[in-house]
Amino acid sequence: MPPPGLVVRQASLTFGNRPLFHGLQARFDAGSWTCLLGRSGSGKSSLLRMIASLRLPDNHHLDLATSDGAPLTGRLAWMAQQDLLVPWQRVVDNVMLGAHWRGRPKPEDRQHAERLLDQVGLADKAGQWPDELSGGQRQRVALARTLFEDASVVLMDEPFSAVDAITRLELHDLASRLLADRTVIMVTHDPLEALRLADRILILQGEPAHLVSIPVPEGARPRPLDNVDLQHRQAELVTRLQESAHA
């Protein structure tokens, strides 16, 4: 089934007495990768949580529509900054965590999980405990767990911000390849990450905030670091982010 596009209307979020955004609109095209940037506290992570129908402490409202009209429930996968591996399950069981939690996993679930571990390069770690893995390896398991859900919409909240720079670049290549043809919305602090991965970059800026679309570099993602256009755009994007912080 092709992935749906998403349309957000009338999104509003109030933090205490301060409205972070009000009447916010956004469109996320089917099968495209959108990166959401903005200064800390701009409400970008909250916006992502609202799309995922996750719990939020503050007053919020959101109208969400899908391009095919069907509800998003059951078609959505979530990946957070923390890998969220559970320590009481082995690596392969963490990949098929959804199957474990929803009921009794079938033998083919395990085969599928092992295939996904192979795809993220951790086939030999299947029987180990999460504690025995490095931070980058754990995040790769989290990516495999996200893929296991086989969701057409993937929401990611700074998924690669807790790993070192080199590991992050490797994870970009992996995620970009494995999440092709899905509708991805990714919150990030890292301009370079956005420029490598995004089909579209949105900055949440102003008070109350609105979304500004930023042009992305040429070339297919993941764009290599020596992409001249990428380097050129990076300076521009950083300047934009600095301006949005002072606005």
Partner 1 sequence: MLEKIAPGRLFRPVVALVVLVAIWQLVLMLTGVPRYILPSPMAVGSALIEQRALLAHHAGITAIEIVAGLIGGILLGLATALALARFRALRRTLLPLLLISQAIPLFALAPILMLWLGYGLGPKILMAMVIIYFPVASTGYDGLRQTPQGWLDLARTFGLSRRQQLLKVQLPAALPSLASGLRMAASAAPIGAVIGEWVGSSQGLGYLMLNANARLQIDLMFAALVVLVAFAVLLYFGVDAALRLSMPWHRDRVESGP
Which residue spans within the chain are E strands per DSSP?
6-15, 18-28, 33-37, 59-66, 76-79, 153-157, 183-187, 200-205, 210-214
User: In whole angstroms, how close is the CB of 194 to partner 1 at the nearest point?
Assistant: 23
Determine the Cα–Cα distance for residues 194 and 168; give it in Å rounded to an integer: 12
Q: Does 88 bind partner 1 (CB under 8 A)?
A: yes
Instruction: Give the CA count within 13 Å in the CB-facing half-sphere of 213.
Output: 9
Q: Does 100 bind partner 1 (CB under 8 A)?
A: yes
Q: Does 13 bind partner 1 (CB under 8 A)?
A: no
Q: Does 97 bind partner 1 (CB under 8 A)?
A: yes
Binding mask 135-174 for partner 1 (x = CB under 8 A): --------------x-------------------------
Binding to partner 1, residues 68-87 (CB under 8 A): 73-74, 76-78, 80, 82, 84, 86-87
Contact with partner 1 (CB under 8 A): which of 102, 104, 107, 166? 102
Binding mask 52-71 for partner 1 (x = CB under 8 A): xxxx----------------
- Which of the stretches 96-104, 108-116, 168-176, 209-217 binds partner 1 when contact is defined by CB under 8 A? 96-104
Instruction: Quickly list DSSP for 152-170.
Output: SEEEEESTTTTS-HHHHHH
Instruction: Closer to partner 1 by CB, 142 or 241: give it.
Output: 142
Residue that the structure tokens 């900054």 belong to: 81
Q: Does 35 bind partner 1 (CB under 8 A)?
A: no
User: In whole angstroms, how close is the CB of 73 to partner 1 at the nearest point?
Assistant: 7
How many residues are given for the chain?
247
The footprint of partner 1 on this chain (CB under 8 A) covers a number of residues equal to 26
Omega before 208 within 30 of 0, i.e. cis = yes
Question: In Å, what is the CA distance from 191 to each residue of 120, 149, 188, 224, 242?
Answer: 24, 28, 8, 14, 11
Question: In Å, what is the CA distance from 27 to each residue of 51, 142, 151?
Answer: 12, 27, 19
- Which of the stretches 99-107, 169-177, 189-197, 216-224 binds partner 1 when contact is defined by CB under 8 A? 99-107
Determine the Cα–Cα distance for residues 73 and 127; give it in Å rounded to an integer: 31
User: In whole angstroms, how close is the CB of 132 to partner 1 at the nearest point?
Assistant: 8
Residue numbers of the site for partner 1 (CB under 8 A)?
A: 49, 52-55, 73-74, 76-78, 80, 82, 84, 86-89, 97-98, 100-102, 129-131, 149
